[in-house]
Amino acid sequence: MFIKNAFGIYVDSKQYVALAKEGINPLAYAKVEVDAETEFIKFLRNLSSLSSGIVSKVGLETTEVKEVEELIREPEKILEVLRELYEKVLLVTANYNYYTFFTVSTRNLPFFYLTKAYPKLIESFDELREFLGLGVIFEPETEVQDIKEKCTIWGHVEGGLCNLIFNLNNLIWESINPSSNLSPIFGFISPSFKDLKKEYLNKAEEKLKLIGWKLQRRDAFKILLCAFSISSGIVTKNWIVRYHTPDYGTYYDDSEIAKQYEDKSLFNVLSDFSPALFLGYLYVDIVRSDYLSFQRV
């Protein structure tokens, strides 16, 4: 069953038993069925594609690995290889890898906070942003150059180095967790393997609580989404603040408290939200020149 789920290769069990009962070697005559592409094979292909892209971006050469067919000929080694794969991909995730965390933290971050968190970027910003694949995802419409520069939100360019590593991390997070379609495969390694994404976000929340993160003195951890209309660097409207509570579920708050950022500066808003953006706890959802929204991951 494991070989079938992982590689889509299986033998007709009824035919196998029937041949064996007749004293015929079933291995010589039993028909081998092959599924073109299983979820596990798709995962491996995506893993390989993203990894090759990353290696190419940093100018390294790829190393040759065993083909799937070779592993199938040596079934006793499959679990060994799977265990090695599992252990290696764990080390790639933002849970354990600083470089991957860097891509999570730079997914969408205003310039003033980006350079505060990584001051060495300032020294050769143009060269580094090109190498890392960073680009502008939001630039406020204001004539005040200082505000425009500080409040410009930088993120990942599609297909750039940071984007590829970020996508690789997400692929691993979404594929290796107890609710994934691949859980029966990785369950052979550890029946209780962790939900890495949930583990990371829980630690991010712990860190934010430790530094006393709040949004205008209110509990920030219940907020799922917050949106703003902006004009000349000032918030003109702040609404659709979605809350989630254990007792009442999700609801929209249109109260005066929900409009807490109206008439405040964009810099003030970004200062409050940046710690959560940096840790990947929130992300910039919808962007226009006069509109910005943040959402929980």
Whether residues 125 and 211 share a domain: the answer is yes
Mean pLDDT value of segment 123-135: 95
Tell me the three state secondary structure of residue 157: coil
What does the block give as tokens for 220? 């920030």
Instruction: Select the more confidently predicted residue: 38 or 99.
Output: 99
Mean pLDDT value of segment 92-114: 97
Mean pLDDT value of segment 58-83: 65
Evaluate whether residue 86 is within a structural domain.
Answer: no
Burial of 124 (0-12, 13-18, 19+ CB in 10 A): exposed
The whole-angstrom separation of Cα 59 and Cα 29 is: 49
pLDDT > 90? residue 158: yes
The whole-angstrom separation of Cα 43 and Cα 6 is: 10
Evaluate whether residue 184 is within a structural domain.
Answer: no
Alpha-carbon torsion 22, 27, 28, 29, what sign? positive
User: What are φ and ψ of residue 285, in 5° steps?
Assistant: -90, -70
Whether residues 123 and 205 share a domain: the answer is yes
Q: Which helix (H) or strand (E) holds 243?
A: strand 234-245
Q: Round the average pLDDT of the chain to a whole number and report it.
A: 83
Whether residues 224 and 130 share a domain: the answer is yes
Q: Tell me: the pLDDT tens digits for 195-219? A: 999 999 999 999 999 999 987 656 6
Whether residues 216 and 127 share a domain: the answer is yes
Give the pLDDT confidence score for residue 251 in this predicted structure. Answer: 58
Whether residues 18 and 137 share a domain: the answer is no
The whole-angstrom separation of Cα 269 and Cα 256 is: 17
Evaluate whether residue 48 is within a structural domain.
Answer: no
Evaluate whether residue 89 is within a structural domain.
Answer: no
Whether residues 275 and 137 share a domain: the answer is yes
Mean pLDDT value of segment 35-49: 82
Evaluate whether residue 17 is within a structural domain.
Answer: yes
Evaluate whether residue 259 is within a structural domain.
Answer: yes
Whether residues 118 and 231 share a domain: the answer is yes
Q: Which residues contact 267 (CB under 8 A, 6 or more apart)?
A: 112, 147, 150, 151, 233
Nearest partner of 130 among 154, 153, 101, judged by Cα = 154
Say how many domains are in the chain.
Answer: 2
Whether residues 114 and 28 share a domain: the answer is no
Instruction: Select the more confidently predicted residue: 2 or 270.
Output: 270
Alpha-carbon separation of residue 184 from 39, 181, 193 (angstroms): 11, 7, 11
Q: 121 lies in which domain range?
A: 106-157+198-296
Mean pLDDT value of segment 5-19: 56
Give the pLDDT confidence score for residue 159 in this predicted structure. Answer: 96
Evaluate whether residue 234 is within a structural domain.
Answer: yes
Evaluate whether residue 81 is within a structural domain.
Answer: no
Q: Tell me: the pLDDT tens digits for 237-250? A: 887 666 666 666 66
Whether residues 10 and 150 share a domain: the answer is no
